[in-house]
Amino acid sequence: EVHLVQSGAELKKPGESLKISCKTSGYIFTIYWIAWVRQMPGKGLEWMGSFYPGDSDTTYSPSFQGQVTISADKSVTTAYLQWSSLKASDTAKYYCARHSEVLGNAFDIWGQGTMVTVSS
Amino acid sequence: AIQMTQSPSSLSASVGDRVTITCRASQGIRNDLGWYQQKPGKAPNLLIYAASTLQSGVPSRFSGSGSGTDFTLTISSLQPEDFATYYCLQDYDYPYTFGQGTKLEI
């Protein structure tokens, strides 16, 4: 069975760095994209970017380009989303999701989400 | 970027009702559209992909239609567990973009 399991909730201060994870299992990691999606409190879904572990191809939304870094470690089939300097406006729940052309790039499996709170 | 305009933003309905949610793309996206259901505090769940293909395990009361710029999600007979927020997502071109969401309430 396919699973995406995300790391736990984080409470950080403005200016701190953070790396959250999305551990995958049950499928061939290198042939599916992993997307990251932000949901600010009480708001809708925003696609942040996607990463292809097969060749490390990465695409970012212009809204998030330069603000976050998406990466992965094939040896542990895990994807990451990281910030070098958090802001209060980064407070949100972040989801990872798998997608591929097999389902027309639809996001068929999602992680449970990681809540990130940035507050002084 | 392709803009996805979803309507209505909220909808009141009753068990047994037929409901329709629409998404309009700012340019043609072929049939590269998915519909997602999200319940409070939970991750979204894929219902429909490629505009009209029902994802495995999703009840047949859900259906999708459309191509090009106009798309529809229909729930033929609302069940209590269908009260949730629904989003469309265009996966035709980067940056992928979601609709604003439709909150379906009793």
Residues of chain B with pLDDT under 50: none
Name chain B contacts of A110, Cβ cutoff 8 Å.
43-45
Q: Is the Cα torsion angle B75, B78, B82, B86 positive or negative in sign?
A: positive
Radius of gyration of chain B (CA): 13
| Chain A environment of B49 (Cβ under 8 Å) | 103-104, 106, 108
Q: CA A28, CA A53: separation in Å to the nearest integer?
A: 10
Would the CB atoms of A111 and B43 count as touching at under 8 Å?
yes
Maximum C-alpha span of chain B: 38
Inter-chain CB proximity B97 and A47 less than 8 Å: yes
For chain A (length 120 residues), average pLDDT per consecutive 10?
98 98 97 97 98 96 98 97 98 96 92 98
Q: Is B38 on the interface with A (CB under 8 A)?
A: yes
Residue B99 corresponds to which tokens in the numbers above?
């609709």
How many CA atoms lie less than 13 Å away from B76 in the CB half-sphere? 6
- Chain A residues with CB-CB distance to B38 below 8 A: 45
The pLDDT of residue A3 is 97
Q: Pick from A45, A59, A108: which is nearest to B87 by CB?
A: A45
- At A104 the pLDDT is 86
Q: Provide the pLDDT for residue B72.
A: 98
What's the Cα-to-Cα distance from B9 to each of A59, A87, A112, B85, rounded to whole Å? Answer: 29, 29, 25, 9
Give pLDDT, residue A107: 97
* Pairwise CB contact (< 8 Å): B94 & A59: yes
pLDDT at site B56? 95
pLDDT at A102: 85
Quick check: A110 contacting B, CB < 8 Å?
yes
In the numeric block, the tokens 């972040």 are attached to A94
Distance (Å, rounded) from C-alpha A41 to C-alpha A49? Answer: 20
Contact of B96 with chain A, judged by CB distance below 8 Å, is answered with yes
